[in-house]
Amino acid sequence: MASSAMKFLVLFAICVLPAFVSATARPVKTPLTVCGKVYCDTCRAGFETTATTFIAGANVMLECRDRKTMQVHYTANGVTDSTGSYEITVAYDHGDHLCEASLVSSPDAGCAKFAPGRDRSVVILTSNNGVASTIRYANNMGFMADQPMSGCAQVLQQYLEADEDI
């Protein structure tokens, strides 16, 4: 009787215990959230100004590619809310992948052209980078208005005056 109990304990220690330990030692994959905003460059300045407005209903895509092959491994989409903000939940860590949020479309026909250099944002989607938060912020991305709105000369003058003070 003692012999069969001993065999069971040895078998348990050899087979079951290592599997249990390795299963519990794996890192927990915590979802990450990518947050950002989409704006309309109403003065066609090439950057955000005090006259900039934020776009509700803009479509944003998140794409992660293998750095070596550039093959797409993950995509997700988001839509901006009434404040021009979007959140995209990413289910797992993307380690060494190159991930970018990019603009897809604007619901505003008068502000639907991608602002040069402001149509995408690189996002680091790994939990092994020393950042305790699960939120990752993408730089604001923007569209350009077809025509500058009235009053833009005064808005841009503010920035010229600020440069002269430096």
Q: Where are the domains of the chain?
A: 26-160
The pLDDT value given to residue 23: 39
pLDDT at 35 over 80: yes
Please give the pLDDT value at position 85.
98
- The reply to whether CATH 3.40.50.920 applies to domain 26-160 is no
pTM for the structure as a whole: 0.77
pLDDT at residue 39, as a whole number = 98
Evaluate if residue 42 carries a pLDDT over 90.
yes
Q: How much is the average pLDDT of 66-81?
A: 93
Mean pLDDT of the residues in the chain: 84
Other beta carbons less than 10 A from residue 32's beta carbon? 23
| Residue 127 CB burial class (10 angstroms; 0-12, 13-18, ≥19) | buried
